[in-house]
Amino acid sequence: MSEPLLTVRDLKTQFYTDRGAVRAVDGVSFDVEQGEIVGLVGESGAGKSVTTSSILRLVEEPGEVVGGKVRYGDRTLVGFDEAAVADEDGRPKLVHSEEMLSNREMREEVRGNEIAIIFQDPMESLNPVYTVGGQVREFIQINRDMSKEEAREEAIEMLRRVGIPEAEDRYSDYPHEFSGGMRQRVLIAMALGCRPNLIIADEPTTALDVTVEGQILELVDDLVDEFDTSFIWVTHDMGVVAEICDRVNVMYLGRIVEQGPVDEIFHDTKHPYTEALLNSIPRPDRTVSDLSPIKGTMPGAMNPPAGCRFHPRCPDARRACREVEPDLLEVGLDHRSACIKHGEVGYWESEPLEHTEAQPETVEGPR
Amino acid sequence: MSLLRYTVYRLLQAIPVMFGIAVVTFLMVNLAPGDPVDYMISEELASEELIASIEARYGLDEPLWRQFLNYLGFSWFLGLLGVPGFADAPPGLLQGDLGLSMYYDRPVSELMLTRIPPTLMLVLSAYAFALTLAIPLGVVAANRRNKPTDHISRIIALFGVSTPSFWIGIMLIVIFGVWLGILPTGRMVYPWRDPAFYGYGNHLELWYQTLRHLFLPVVALGTLQMAVIMRVERSSMIESLQSEYVQLARAYGVSERTILRKHAFRPSQLPVITLIGLNLTTSLGGAVLIETVFAINGMGRLIVQSIQTLDYQLILGTTIVLGFVFVIGVIITDLAYAYIDPRVTYGEEA
């Protein structure tokens, strides 16, 4: 296969708070090929949205991208070099590498015209005091160097393409005159109208009801065929993933725990977290009592658990899981999983962990 | 509904409100203790006939309901229609006649017409001053949140909000009028008068002098408004700068400058407009103090005098007119709101 459209390598983003640095994204790597839809899945707080805003360098204070590399085609969106001077602790200090795009280049050459984004909440993403058409037109005008008139024509055309009836008339309506599903279509029209190669869709259907969600997914599917646009689809919904994604990255607490083609992820699940996510989807052939939701909540990223980050909630956890930090290992064709089961670090010889968080003594073993 | 129809609709809606203001004011003034006639004549001169003739002159000898109908001008209409007993009723509020001031012995409307322009000039100039400073300062402070510029503007705002306007006025007089002696502190000149009246050669000089005279009272009156508006502008801008639509604009490569001027600015003006609309009318209260401090013959001083002399008709007239100004201020605010915020539906169908 040729060079991927987007490569993310060991991306790290931190948020500085009064109580210390939160490592929201802690070494994430994945690729996006031209024309494919890549899923980014995980619970709330796993770092999915921070990953996508890090790619576009839109992380806001007090957050900061602190390491890793993001390449888009032959451009470096994020890159670091080791500085000649070390910091106080004697570690080599990281500085932005020279080939990294300037903020201006990022704004003028990448955002919108190469990589566009669709936000989660269609209710809040449109400016309430400007017309819907005007907003679509503005972004098209900026990103495609069109005249106002051409951009207007294009905006109407895109609104029509995403299935807004009487697009010409609705051009001058305001966002509050649109329903949630219609607004989401407007956001999609915005993204497509800028003719980007990659669209980051950040939970775009979460706020919509299922019938509308279905229509939107179908629409995206058609548009991908037509424009050959790549997507990064951020979601917590495995059902949506199954429906539209080509490849999937499962995130847990700032890291990718499993990645691979969608069929492998669903039918040859390797990581216990992915398995648990799949088991917690309600299905018509199972009753509520058959559901096995993941126990507990995701710990904060401030002090992630030692060893495997998922071990306190993992049904398969053993003692070794608390000591060894698992790497992403090849477990199939283009399929990787970060569980020490797959490695040679003695998982199978280790004692199983009892999940009784209230009584940590039992985990420690007899005294 | 078009904006024009909405305007007419809102004005029609204001009629019952204005009527209510007139009724309540009339009753309150009549319930207030003290007899205006007592103020006019000394104890020794007070004879039954004199009192009766004065009461007859001002229409105070008639029953209260009749006085009320007279005042509003209904009696005049009834007289026009030939209703018996109203044949020679005087014109009233509806005919634009607010009665006769007892103290000045001149029509109330005439008095007010000479007093309203100075007050309008003062209040509007103070607002022009407040807005030209407050809006840019608020935007800059929001944009440089928690940086030195922000802290400085917040200290200015805190000072402005917590310092009484008359004290600022007195301090300005002491500094600029007394110590430095560079700005006039009273004897306001008005640009609509003949320049020769003040001994100035031409209108340009008169305008220049007006600005000089206005400077201190405007700063004194405008500082509070400036501070209040700046705070709202700042917090409102901060809110929209964090909104998703601004993040979306950033994600589509819109420059920070355009975001600040367009995407964040316009939605932020809604609370500011509400504030201005309400404060513009209440700041007439501030004008009373400033007019006293700087000896400006405006509405504020007229109201104070009318209360001190228990000038019955004048109190009624000024209070009712101020009430009307307030109502009109609210309507203008609503219209501005409807113009800026498309989500405001134009009345009736709801």
Q: What does the pLDDT look like over B114-124, one tens digit per residue?
A: 888 899 899 99
What mean pLDDT is reported for chain B?
85
Q: What is the ipTM of this complex?
A: 0.84
Partners of A116 on chain B (C-beta within 8 Å) are 251-252
* CB-CB under 8 Å, A127 with B245: yes
Where does the pLDDT of residue B345 fall: very low under 50, low under 70, confident under 90, or very high at 90 and above? low
- Mutation for A interface: B248, B343, B344, most A CBs within 10 A: B248
3-state secondary structure chain B: CCHHHHHHHHHHHHHHHHHHHHHHHHHHHHHCCCCHHHHHCCCCCCCHHHHHHHHHHCCCCCCHHHHHHHHHCHHHHHHHCCCCCCCCCCCCHHHCCCCECCCCCCEHHHHHHHHHHHHHHHHHHHHHHHHHHHHHHHHHHHHCCCCHHHHHHHHHHHHHHHCCHHHHHHHHHHHHHHHCCCCCCCCCCCCCCCHHHHCCCCHHHHHHHHHHHHHHHHHHHHHHHHHHHHHHHHHHHHHHHCCHHHHHHHHCCCCHHHHHHHHCHHHHHHHHHHHHHHHHHHHHHHHHHHHHHCCCCCHHHHHHHHHHCCCHHHHHHHHHHHHHHHHHHHHHHHHHHHHHCCCCCCCCCC
Report B:194-233 residues touching A (Cβ under 8 A): none
* CB-CB under 8 Å, B251 with A58: yes
- pTM across the whole model: 0.79
* CB-CB under 8 Å, A139 with B254: yes
* CB-CB under 8 Å, A143 with B267: no
- Mutation for B interface: A77, A108, A127, most B CBs within 10 A: A127
Tell me which residues of chain A have a pLDDT lower than 50.
Answer: 356-367
Would you call B340 an interface residue with chain A, using a CB distance cutoff of 8 Å?
yes
Partners of B268 on chain A (C-beta within 8 Å) are none
Domain spans in chain B, listed from the N-terminal domain onward: 116-308
- The mean pLDDT of B131-148, rounded to a whole number, is 91
pLDDT at A358: 40
Most confident of B5-9, B91-95, B214-218, B320-324: B214-218
pLDDT at B348: 42
Look at domain B116-308 and name its CATH class: mainly alpha
pLDDT at A362: 36
